[in-house]
Structure 1
């Protein structure tokens, strides 16, 4: 029997309300409390030049940060973009690659499940299931399409340099 994948996220109004406090925490000496789950993407709009400081959840996969998002700001990363990231209390240059191809996003979700488990992946993505089993890759791909999910892969902006994981 196929698993129905749902998605539960806090209301956007609540996220907008608490984001200033999250940004302040991530920039302060208190950052250690959330370093394993959150970072700030510093993204510049391609058309507007507007600067966005976006707190996001991430997962460390193979020494690279992976962010799952459905938000429109991701279009600024299409084709790759050099950005800055605040993590572990430090701001550092990184390169961001957007992946919005459903099959490869689903494969990344599968890798997340293998790395941090289904419960950890649920916490990071808001995905839920109506059964006790882990969804299959085709089910994940269906959810990617339904919820318009994409991944952002963050790597060091310096060739050959490892991402500093704090």
Structure 2
């Protein structure tokens, strides 16, 4: 399938090599250099209970942080989850809502492109827009072609019970204990 939009992401081996360094930087005093582009999602696997610490690009839209992904870890957020997020050097509790519907994901992408501008949105979203702002139909085609979804992060509500284990009761132990 050919679309008016291309996907640009680094090779997975490079991502795997750099992610530990990015995570350390985002949780250190050096975080300010990356704050406008990256945060870390701390997600537990529904079946494995394995913790994933995922550096990911985001866009701030009104009172929400929106991330775009095609990776399979996202399924752990289906139905929504209260998770920890390292944002601007600090860990925060946030509500993560996964959207896999091509129509609404395309609308979110269009909002981000309009907010950031095409060049900045290309870098933030990992898309190549070929020098123009695409229409919603083109964005929807790209969402389908590249299996994109969005994760929207908002402050959690106090009347909602956490839906998944989030790990706030235990500290990360690199030794796995």
Q: Partner residue of 2:55?
A: 55
Structure 1 stretches (4+) deviating beyond 3 angstroms?
none
Q: Distance in 2 between matches of 1:157 and 1:86?
A: 15
Q: Partner residue of 2:167?
A: none
Q: Given the alignment of the two structures, is residue 110 of structure 1 paired with residue 106 of structure 2, yes or no? A: no
Given that residues 3 and 129 in structure 1 are in contact (C-alpha distance below 8 angstroms), is that contact kept between their aligned partners in structure 2? no
Given that residues 3 and 135 in structure 1 are in contact (C-alpha distance below 8 angstroms), is that contact kept between their aligned partners in structure 2? no
TM-score, normalised relative to structure 2: 0.86
**Residue 118 of structure 1, CA deviation:** 1.1
TM-score, normalised relative to structure 1: 0.91
> Which deviations, in whole Å up to 9, do the C-alpha atoms of 1:60-85 show, x marking residues without a partner?
00121000000000000000001000
Q: Distance in 1 between matches of 2:3 and 2:12?
A: 26
Q: Give unmatched runs, 5+ long, in structure 2.
A: 160-177
**Residue 5 of structure 1, CA deviation:** 1.0
Q: Distance in 1 between matches of 2:62 and 2:110?
A: 14
Given that residues 6 and 127 in structure 2 are in contact (C-alpha distance below 8 angstroms), is that contact kept between their aligned partners in structure 1? yes
Structure 1 residues 3, 50: closer, same or farther in 2, change over 3 A? closer
**Residue 159 of structure 1, CA deviation:** 4.7
Q: Partner residue of 2:141?
A: 142
Q: Distance in 2 between matches of 1:26 and 1:129?
A: 28
Q: Partner residue of 2:96?
A: 96
Q: Give unmatched runs, 5+ long, in structure 1.
A: 161-166
